[in-house]
Structure 1
Amino acid sequence: GQKHLKRVVAEMGGKNAIIVDESADLDQAVQGVVQSAFGYSGQKCSACSRVIVLDPIYDSFLRRLVEATRSLNLGPADQPSTKVGPVIDADARNRIGEYIEKGRLECDVALELPAPDSGYFVGPVIFRDVPPTATIAQEEIFGPVLAVMRAQSFADAIDLANGTHYALTGGLYSRTPSHIEQAQAEFEVGNLYINRGITGAIVARQPFGGFKLSGVGSKAGGPDYLLQFLEPRVVTENIQRQGFAPIEGAD
C-alpha cells in the first residue's frame, strides 16, 4: 500500500586489491599491505584481500610480506601488544575457516599463523600464486585472508585488479608516473589510494563508496550525502503579470 519508492543508499562489499609494481618502495608497500589486510582482522569493507605484484619483484616482496606478517601478535583486542584481534563472532570465524579450506584446494599457503584455541580468533593466512579465477580471489571473505597474485606487466595487473564484480577501494605502490596516471584512469574503484594503505578514509577529505556490486548512492562523508535523502521540488512562476486581482475589502 505504499505510495512511494524507497531510497536506497548501500555499501555492499569489496574484493579490494593493492598493486605493487617494480618501482615501488618495498618497505612502504609491505607495511601498507599488512596494515590494510590484517588490521581489524581484515573486517573492514575497505580491507585489502588481494595484492597483485609485478613478476620482477614478486618473490622478494612475498618473502618480506610473510616475515612482516609473522611478527603480528594475536590476542585480545584490549591488550596494547595485540595487532590482530578476534573476529566478530563464531559464525564469522567458521565462515572464514571454510574459505581458508577452499583456498588450500586452489593454491599454496605461504603463511598461516596459529590462532588461540579459545575465542573467535583466526590467524592471518597468506596464499601465494593465486589464480584470478580462484574463490579466494573473487569472493569477499571479510577476514584476515590475503591472496597474492602475480602479474607479468602493469597492464596485466590492472586487468587482474578489475577482474571482480566489486569496485570499492584499491591501492597502488609505485614510483613510476606513467603507472600512477594509468591507475588513476583505469583502476575501477570508488576510492584509489596511491603509496599509502587503503583503509581509514577521512570524512570530507576522502568521501567513501564504490560502484559495480560494491554499492549505490552518494559517497559517505561527501558534500552531497545528505542531499540524497531530500525530495527535490521545482516551482515555476510566470512573473509577467496580466493585470492584478482586486483585494476584497480594500478602499
Structure 2
Amino acid sequence: MAWVNALQWLNLTRHGESTGNVANGTALESGAEETGVRERDADVPLSEKGRAQAAALGHRLAALPEDERPTMVVASPYLRALDTARIALAQTSYAAPRDPGGLVPRVDERLRDREQGVLEGLTPAGVRSRFPAEAERLRRLGKFYYRPPGGESWTDVALRLRGFYRDLEAAAPGGRVLVVAHDAIVVLTRYLVEGLSEREVLDIERAPVGNASLSRWRHDGGGLVAVCYNDVSHLTSAGSPAG
C-alpha cells in the first residue's frame, strides 16, 4: 500500500555535509575502526561546505513556481538538519525570518537519524573487530531487518515515519511540505510513498543520498508520483561540488 497521498507536494532533502560525514569518510579511507566523531549524533554540525550546500538548496527552493513552494517545513531536531533548513529558508523571500508570517521550520523527533546503539561511532571494520557476532547477525538478517543492540532497524525507522506522515497529512491536507532530515529518512520515505519491497528499497539505497539533494513527489489526482529523486543539480550549478 502506498502512503502519504493527501499532500499536494512532498519535498525531501538530506542535510548538508556535516563534520561527521567528513570524519567518517576519512576513517573509511584509512581503515580506522572508529569514525572519530566526539559529539553526540544530535549535536554534529554542518561543515563549511555543508553550509554552502544548504544555501544552494535555498536558491533552488526560491526559484520554484509560486504554486510549488513549500507551505510547511518540518525538520529533524538534529543540528545538521535544523541548520540546513534555517540556512535554506533564509535564501527565500517567502520565508523571511523577520516576517511574522514567514515560514519557519517545525521540529519532529520522528525525523531523527537511525540510531546505531552500541555500534555508534564505529566503522564497518570496527564492528567486525569489536562485535563479530553482530557483524554475522547483520550478514544473516540483512540490512533492512537487522537491529543493533540499543539501536534501530530500517523497519523501526519506517514505523515511526508512518506515524509522522499520518499526522502530517491530518495537519496539512493538500499542503506543500518540505522535510529536512537524513539519508535513511529520504530512502524510507520513497519506500512508503511508492510502496516498494525490501529488495527494491535496498537496491535504491546502494546509491548514496547526496547532501542537500532534493527529492520531490506531486499529487496527480490519484496519489503522489515521483518528479525527481536525489537531484543535486543545484549544487553543481552553484559551484558547490555535489556529495
TM-score range, shorter chain: 0.3 to 0.5
Larger Rg: 1
TM-score by length of 2: 0.34
Between the two structures, name the one with larger relative contact order (CA 8 Å, sep ≥ 6). Answer: 2
TM-score where L is the length of structure 1: 0.33
More helix by share: 2
Indicate the structure with greater strand content.
1
